Amino acid sequence: CEFGYEKAWQYYETKMEETRYWKRKLGYHITTGLTKNEFYLEYQPIVDAASGRPLLMEALIRWEHPTLGTISPGRFIPLAEELGSIVALGRWVLMESCRMAASWKEAGHQNLIVSVNVSVKQLLEGKAFVQTVKEILEETALPPSLLELEITETVLMSKEGDIKKTLEQLEKLGVRLAIDDFGTGYSSLTHLNTFPVHTLKIDKSFIHNLSHQENNKAIVSSLVTLAGQLDLCSIAEGVETAEEAAVLKEKQCQGLQGYYFSRPLPAFEVPAYLQRMNPG
Ligand code: C2E
Ligand code: CA
Ligand code: CA
Ligand code: CA
């Protein structure tokens, strides 16, 4: 019969080959792309809920391949993690964003923090990663307090390596630590409290439709309260409407980020944006 076992299996195998082929191809392009300057960063502001002024800028990686076109980080970051190229890529992101943050400081934005996404694979490098961060801060002359590292909540639950020790060494350097996608990882409170964390970034899945969804409102409210009780800063990501912003302000969330305030900006647009938001 047409859809016999053989046929189905052949089809399955072809599909698998295709994915493996693409993975290998993309993986190769990630490594060469780094030397060919195909990656760049955009920066998305996180504004103070009360004043509307930017507190932090989150660095978000972009890839424009000459023939494959634009490839989203959602597609190539997991692959880079799987292949190990995330370590070199992540190092480049750190260097580039710290250099940029130092230039904003030079331009008079004394307290503006740059926030950088860090993969668990980078943290698992342990001492070597801490050393990398230290060297980059020295080379760029960026005060450690102006660098925030974003790690996802699931990283805290990783059984591999000694993540906690690495985070403690990073805190000793004076950098800030944020928990990204907070609320999606089911980490316990007592657990959270044992890590040297400064900021909770409430996942955007809770922010969407905030004004119409009572359960999301309740969740956000308790996450903001939790942050306050643990003496942590709270940031909401994915804020898309004035209504969502209003609810978050009412709930006393401190930092707001999302398309409603600003899309991620190319580096060359940042100075004008900062000037506009911090007049005089
Ligand atoms: P993330 O860290 O949770 O970043 C938030 C994502 O939401 C970004 O997508 C951002 O562009 C998008 N976003 C911003 N405002 C809104 C909004 O109002 N509504 C909605 N629906 N989305 C919004 P992006 O840039 O595609 O990045 C996707 C993910 O890729 C990031 O999620 C992060 O996990 C990862 N990523 C990006 N850059 C880096 C990097 O340099 N290193 C590492 N390790 N991961 C990165
Ligand atoms: Ca992030
Ligand atoms: Ca996030
Ligand atoms: Ca995410």
Ligand number nearest CA of 62 is 1
- ipTM exceeds 0.95, yes or no: yes
Identity at 96, one-letter amino acid code:
E
Identity at 17, one-letter amino acid code:
E
Please give the backbone phi and psi of residue 119, each rounded to the nearest 5 degrees, phi first.
-85, 150
Distance between Cα 182 and ligand 3 center (Å): 8
- Confirm or reject: Cβ of 73 under 6 Å from ligand 1: yes
What pLDDT, in 10s, does the model give residues 22-60?
Answer: 888 888 899 999 999 999 999 999 999 999 999 999 999
- The ligand 1 atom at the shortest distance from the C-alpha of residue 44 is 14
Q: What is the pLDDT of residue 16?
A: 60
Q: How far is CA 24 from CA 27, 75, 79, 82, in A?
A: 5, 13, 9, 11
Q: Is residue 241 within 8 Å of residue 212, measured between CB atoms?
A: no
* Shortest-distance Cα residue to atom 46 of ligand 1: 117
Q: What's the distance, Cα to Cα, between the start and end of the chain in Å?
A: 77
What pLDDT, in 10s, does the model give residues 167-215?
Answer: 999 999 999 999 999 988 766 677 788 889 999 999 999 998 887 888 8
- Confirm or reject: Cβ of 69 under 6 Å from ligand 1: no
